Chains A and B, each alone.
Chain A
Amino acid sequence: AQKVTQAQTEISVVEKEDVTLDCVYETRDTTYYLFWYKQPPSGELVFLIRRNSFDEQNEISGRYSWNFQKSTSSFNFTITASQVVDSAVYFCALSGPTTGNQFYFGTGTSLTVIP
């Protein structure tokens, strides 16, 4: 079965703190892709990153970093030195042969950064 679990429903941090958003997935596929999206209060969904299952290198983009660990089926997202503009709902998603071209989205983690 394809499944994405984001166990953290809501997180609040004070500005400049680091925060990690967890994503755990289940899949039967040996080749698959994982994604993170950001949904700010304005409502649109913004693509952040795509990672394929063969590339376990961590990725860093500015204050954002992603830790992919196949051994624990996790693809966690860390924001360093959080800012108020990071306040949003963050979604993790999975796609692979079993899903066709479809995405399985997690339920999202709502992050609030307090100034």
Chain B
Amino acid sequence: DAGVIQSPRHEVTEMGQEVTLRCKPISGHNSLFWYRQTMMRGLELLIYFNNNVPIDDSGMPEDRFSAKMPNASFSTLKIQPSEPRDSAVYFCASSYMGGSPYSEQFFGPGTRLTVL
């Protein structure tokens, strides 16, 4: 079975440009999470969706960040305009919230974003 798929794997862009990160969760999973990982802050939850609906976006750093989940098999995280401090590895994870609401999350390979 395919795991969580993220694209691109690497992105290098210049300050001020728009960046779009993409995620395809594991088929059948109904929760999706976007994380950011940096040396300074570790793993931070940015936003998560349940059944395609954003539940908690309190981790989104500022209005430059937005996330959508138009259907159960696709989500995007957009940064506009990007800044050098956005450089990080961005992970997407999915899980199935069924009988137990605290299921393990399965992570994608991450997108390494560098903003020059």
Contacts and interface: CB of A to CB of B under 8 A. Distances in A.
Nearest to A33: B102
Contact of B102 (A101, A105, A107): A101
Given A101-B95, A103-B45, A107-B42, A45 B107 contact: yes
A100 B55 contact: yes
A95 interface: yes
A52 B103 CA distance: 10
Q: For this complex, into which size category does the number of interface residues on chain A fall?
A: 20 to 34
Contact of A45 (B48, B91, B112): B91
B54 interface: no
Contacts, number: 51
A32 B50 CA distance: 19
A43 interface: yes
B108 to A, nearest CB: 8
B92 to A, nearest CB: 11
Interface string A19-35: 00000000000001101
A45 B105 CA distance: 10
A47 B106 contact: yes
B102 A32 contact: yes
A51 B91 CA distance: 23
Contact of A96 (B43, B102, B106): B102
B110 interface: yes
B107 A44 contact: yes
Contacts of A45: 91, 93, 107
Given A43-B110, A108-B42, A101 B48 contact: yes
14 contacts: A45-B91, A47-B106, A47-B107, A50-B104, A100-B55, A100-B56, A101-B31, A101-B48, A101-B50, A101-B55, A102-B45, A102-B48, A102-B56, A107-B42
Interface of A: 32-33, 35, 37, 43-47, 50, 52, 91, 95-96, 100-103, 105, 107-108
